[in-house]
Structure 1
């Protein structure tokens, strides 16, 4: 288990949590991740233990946004996605949480202040939604990197187990 600390850009919010899966290896290119977290056209989430999440500073300021999975369907048929928690002052995304997996939080690697391990390989998922400028299929790829049109056939936890990185 690795203890990690994170914060927003302006310093209004800081938090900590424990993670068995601290290697930032999986890049998500879905439109929700791209548009809510910015960056290089993708976002990278870690996996943390929900029960270990402690907001050290700014608990009263943290806000959440619940994205819609597919905005093209009628409003009454829309399915909600993960809650995404952020600082309303500087708009830094901090972590996500999914009702389907209440035991996990998914902190954004970009919000983590603790030094994270360097992955020996990466995975890119949901690349069918990547814009051409960010699409990893349009860039040089090493043999260690996996690319998936949608979701990979393994979870964050399974990747860490398979690579001997589960803390």
Structure 2
């Protein structure tokens, strides 16, 4: 288990969490990640244990946005998915959490201040939802694995398969 620290850009929120899966290897191109935190057309989440999350500064300030899974559906058919937590002062996204997996949080790698190990390989997921300008299928992938939707493995499984779990 490894303890990582993170913060927002303005420093109003500081947090820490524990993880066994610290390698930022998976780039998500879904519209939620892309529009809420993905300046490069994607966001990179890592895996943390929800029970270990400690907010040492700014807990009262943290806000959340509950994303809609498929906004193209009529409003009555839309389902909510992950909560995205952010700093309302500087708008930095910090972590995501899903009711489907209450034991986990998904901190944005860009919010983590601790040194993260570089990935041996990358996985680009949800490419069926990526705009052409951000889709790595149209550019050099550098050996990344490409998936139209979710891959057939979890963040945790990838770390085990690549001997990257701590």
Please give the TM-score of this superposition, normalised by the length of structure 2: 0.98
1:80 aligns with 2:80: yes
C-alpha displacement at 1:77, in angstroms?
Answer: 1.4
1:25 matched residue in structure 2: 25
1:154 matched residue in structure 2: 153
Question: SS where residue 76 of structure 2 aligns?
Answer: helix
1:69 matched residue in structure 2: 69
2:58 matched residue in structure 1: 58
Gaps of 5+ in 1: none
Aligned positions, number: 166
C-alpha displacement at 1:38, in angstroms?
Answer: 3.0
2:91 matched residue in structure 1: 91
C-alpha displacement at 1:71, in angstroms?
Answer: 1.1
2:41 matched residue in structure 1: 41
Moved >3 Å (runs of 4+):
none
CA RMSD of aligned residues (A): 0.8
Distance (Å, rounded) in 1 between the aligned partners of 2:122 and 2:71: 29
Gaps of 5+ in 2: none
